[in-house]
Structure 1
């Protein structure tokens, strides 16, 4: 099977994830600035999650351009990745609703690690499918950003026990590391 169907399905799921997240931002009942300011925890959570979903969508798009055909392992790995990513709206809403208390930032960090592991698994399956000497394998090369991300996620998770807002800083740092598309995977299309 070619990759078009898997990519279209993934794009649809990711679009729904973003839609669900924005629907959690309810319009304030009054028109004063204080009412709008009261939404800031939800808005901060939304921005962070939107960044992550957008980053994964972007890198997923680039990664699939290296894939020539899809097998069952890749399909299941992609579904697992989408499953983990689909939990982000729940973590976003919980964290924003409860103003970043320790359990919510801890849970959110665990979700971020789950998505990272699922994405790494998908990447591994594609590398295995395409072969060690493939363009994809050569493009992936080292995994410094991936390892740094996991370390920062773990520091964020530990921070959430003591300073939940500090955990958010670490989660934002990881997003900033990935804000520039993974140049290893970009190629002329």
Structure 2
């Protein structure tokens, strides 16, 4: 399989998953501001999940400029990543329906962690067979923040399980706004400097 076919497959599945997120939004009971306000946790869960998946896609898409080849392990690591990602709309819907429920928030946090670990496995496979400077630069850049990202998500999961249920969702929001998006914006400068 060529890298472009795998990239297209990943793009297509993530696009479907992101579309399912919006299809899970319920209609308001009344068609006015009060009806929309009653769905605020649904909109929050949708926006958080959409932008988190979008950030994941940006990272994956951006890394493909450094990918020269793939192998069966790469393909299977992508399938595993997409498998866990396919649970995200379900977990998002549950969080939207029961935002303050401890069990649901723990499930949401666990799904996010499983996706994150699967993405790391995917990048590991890409790095093992693509030893060029571009891939090395991407890996080094991500190592600066990925451990903090995982620790914050684990802390959110533990807090959700013990005494503050929304902590998992808040941890995802914090990592997205403080680590992931700023890192992606800084990554342009890092990679451009390497390419010069």
Note the 1:138-177 alignment, pairs <5 A.
138-141=137-140, 143-161=143-161, 162-176=163-177, 177=179
Distance 1:3 1:151 in 2: 31
Distance 1:21 1:119 in 2: 20
Give the equivalent residue in structure 1 for 2:27: 27
Distance 2:158 2:138 in 1: 33
Note the 1:32-111 alignment, pairs <5 A.
32-111=32-111
- Residue 147 of structure 1 deviates from its aligned partner by 0.3
Distance 2:30 2:101 in 1: 26
User: Can you give the 5+ residue segments of structure 2 that lack an aligned partner in the other structure?
Assistant: none
**TM-score (norm: length of structure 1):** 0.91
Give the equivalent residue in structure 2 for 1:114: 114
Q: Structure 2 vs 1, CA of residues 102 and 5 (structure 1 numbering), >3 Å: closer, same or farther?
A: same
User: Can you give the 5+ residue segments of structure 1 that lack an aligned partner in the other structure?
Assistant: none
Distance 2:100 2:180 in 1: 23
Q: Which moved more, 1:159-168 or 1:178-187?
A: 178-187
**TM-score (norm: length of structure 2):** 0.88
Distance 2:100 2:172 in 1: 13
User: RMSD value over aligned CA atoms?
Assistant: 1.8
Distance 1:109 1:46 in 2: 15
In the alignment, is the contact (CA less than 8 A) between 1:28 and 1:36 conserved in 2?
yes
In the alignment, is the contact (CA less than 8 A) between 2:99 and 2:105 conserved in 1?
no
Aligned length: 187
Distance 2:170 2:136 in 1: 32
